[in-house]
Chain A
Amino acid sequence: MTDRDRYQRQMILPGFGLDTQEKLLAAKVLIIGVGGLGCPALQYLVGAGVGYIGIMDADKISLSNLHRQLLFTESDIGLLKVSQAAAKMRLLNADVTIETYPFHIDQSNALAIISKYDLIIDATDNFPAKYLINDACLVLNKPYVFGAVSRYEGQVAVFNLDTSSNPIQYRDLFPEAPKPGEVPSCAEAGVIGVLPGIIGAMQAAEAIKIITGIGTPLYGRLYHYNLLLAQGFEIEISANEKVFEMNERIFLENCYEENEDEMDIPEITVSEFNRMRVLPEVYVLDVRERHEYPSIDFSDAQIPMSELQAKMHEIPEKEICIICHQGIRSVYAAQQISKKRNLKVYSVKGGLTAYFK
């Protein structure tokens, strides 16, 4: 089997010949996050013949990944995502060199790794990583393809594609990262499996366009996709008037960690919670959004995280046990309450997921 056979279907496309295919084979792409977005992006880039691909993720495969990370199978559970993904992708296309980074991106490794690549795909699932990737790409003048999902909706955009002093970047949309808990994660908000498949494939498409020069990249535009309505909505991005200053020194001194300067909140186990919740001086507060399941009958009140600031005064002078879906938002809610009210607050570790286990 020759290369010509493998890529024949795309090489016969108008505007896509042998020289275009060679651009893909010469390209180096780093995919950060090998989850719902990263798996489909990786598969399409390997299929298309991108010559050198780095994949970065510290996580191991779990059963709850499989509904959307179709690269993995049940026998992969418990194994490292990057190792399994690399093994499978080498079987798909031996032309492609896969480099694995079995750890999370952080300030100490980002610049050294990103500098080895031509293009970055942000397939991460949290704001600290997204801001860190944005800033590192600015420092190194690397274009990157942003993707993110929330329940039935997704966003895609290309950032930092021009070399001007003020390229379009993620901070033009949202200059500062939301506080932890302000926006629920996939684990908390839920996501339908096919959605990151669509968004991750779009990220791969943008990467291929940027590498080969075909078409018009999604630069300076944010594309929003609503799966339930089967509707796209595109917004032209306005750059911040003030040039956002970013260089290696600022990047290394910046703080990307969540929970910085936040107080420690005592976490209680489910059995401790069960003992406490029946006591008259204990008040059980559910901070999930109203649409979240399952409904529970042992909470004294439900104040969704999004309404907490406005309803802070409704919380009585009791010991407060806060519960949410996974025990992430409840810690954040407890911090918010502790700041405003002088109350004893506890977060139920693992949330309702642990409770119903």
Chain B
Amino acid sequence: MAITVYFFGSLVDITGQSKKELNSFSDTDALNLLLQKDYPTLISTKYFIAVNQQMIKTNHELNNGDIVALMPPFSGG
């Protein structure tokens, strides 16, 4: 089992996909770094990270089967 990453809003345009399966990563910092290397636009984009539907504020250990979500702000109304 791998780690599943979900992208929302404008992040789908940046990464070209709404969902990505990745081989196991030690933690969210490592995962985020790889994503920013693959998609440099992410560096200047605002989003927060959630692991298994719980928002995280600091580096978080990842295990196989975890679901990671990258959520940007929306402002439309």
Q: Mark B58-77, 1 if CB is under 8 A from A, else 0.
A: 00000000000101111111
In the complex, besides A127-B75, A147-B77, A174-B46, 11 extra interface pairs with C-beta distance below 8 angstroms are A125-B75, A154-B74, A174-B73, A184-B10, A196-B77, A222-B71, A234-B53, A235-B50, A235-B55, A289-B10, A310-B41
Could you tell me if B53 and A127 are in contact, using CB atoms closer than 8 angstroms?
A: no
Tell me the minimal C-beta distance from A119 to chain B in angstroms: 18
What's the Cα separation between A238 and B54 when bound, in Å? 7
Which of B13, B14, B76 has the most A CB atoms < 10 Å from its CB?
Answer: B76
Query: Is B45 an interface residue when CB atoms closer than 8 A count as contact?
Result: yes
Q: Which of these, B6, B13, B57, B77, contacts A149 with CB under 8 Å?
A: B77
Q: Which residue of A lies closest to B58 (CB)?
A: A241
Consensus secondary structure, chain A interface: mixed
With contacts A183-B10, A183-B75, A224-B71 taken as known, whether A238 is within 8 angstroms of B56 at the C-beta atoms is yes
8 nearest A-B residue pairs (beta carbon)? A125-B77, A186-B76, A148-B74, A150-B74, A149-B76, A235-B50, A37-B77, A310-B40
Residues 169 to 224 of chain A near chain B (Cβ within 8 Å):
172-174, 178, 182-186, 189, 191, 196, 222, 224
Could you tell me if B14 and A191 are in contact, using CB atoms closer than 8 angstroms?
A: no
Query: Is A290 an interface residue when CB atoms closer than 8 A count as contact?
Result: yes
Tell me the minimal C-beta distance from B57 to chain A in angstroms: 6
A125 CB contacts on chain B under 8 angstroms? 75-77
Could you tell me if A123 and B77 are in contact, using CB atoms closer than 8 angstroms?
A: yes
Could you tell me if B6 and A290 are in contact, using CB atoms closer than 8 angstroms?
A: no
With contacts A147-B77, A240-B57 taken as known, whether A174 is within 8 angstroms of B48 at the C-beta atoms is yes
With contacts A36-B77, A173-B48, A185-B76 taken as known, whether A150 is within 8 angstroms of B57 at the C-beta atoms is no
Query: Is A97 an interface residue when CB atoms closer than 8 A count as contact?
Result: no
A233 CB contacts on chain B under 8 angstroms? 6, 8, 53, 69
Could you tell me if B53 and A183 are in contact, using CB atoms closer than 8 angstroms?
A: no
Could you tell me if A238 and B53 are in contact, using CB atoms closer than 8 angstroms?
A: no
What's the Cα separation between A82 and B60 when bound, in Å? 47
Q: Mark B34-54, 1 if CB is under 8 A from A, else 0.
A: 000000110111101010011
What's the Cα separation between A125 and B76 when bound, in Å? 4
Consensus secondary structure, chain B interface: mixed
What's the Cα separation between A224 and B69 when bound, in Å? 11
Q: Which residue of A lies closest to B6 (CB)?
A: A233
What's the Cα separation between A124 and B73 when bound, in Å? 14
With contacts A183-B10, A309-B44 taken as known, whether A127 is within 8 angstroms of B73 at the C-beta atoms is yes
Q: Which of these, B40, B71, B72, contacts A235 with CB under 8 Å?
A: B71
Residues 104 to 125 of chain A near chain B (Cβ within 8 Å):
123-125
What's the Cα separation between A103 and B55 when bound, in Å? 36
Q: Mark A221-241, 1 if CB is under 8 A from B, else 0.
A: 010101001000111111011
Q: Which residue of B lies closest to A228 (CB)?
A: B18
Query: Is A130 an interface residue when CB atoms closer than 8 A count as contact?
Result: yes
B54 CB contacts on chain A under 8 angstroms? 235-236, 238
Query: Is A35 an interface residue when CB atoms closer than 8 A count as contact?
Result: yes
What's the Cα separation between A291 and B71 when bound, in Å? 20
Could you tell me if B10 and A306 are in contact, using CB atoms closer than 8 angstroms?
A: yes
Query: Is A143 an interface residue when CB atoms closer than 8 A count as contact?
Result: no
With contacts A235-B53, A309-B44 taken as known, whether A173 is within 8 angstroms of B13 at the C-beta atoms is no
B10 CB contacts on chain A under 8 angstroms? 150, 183-184, 189, 289, 306
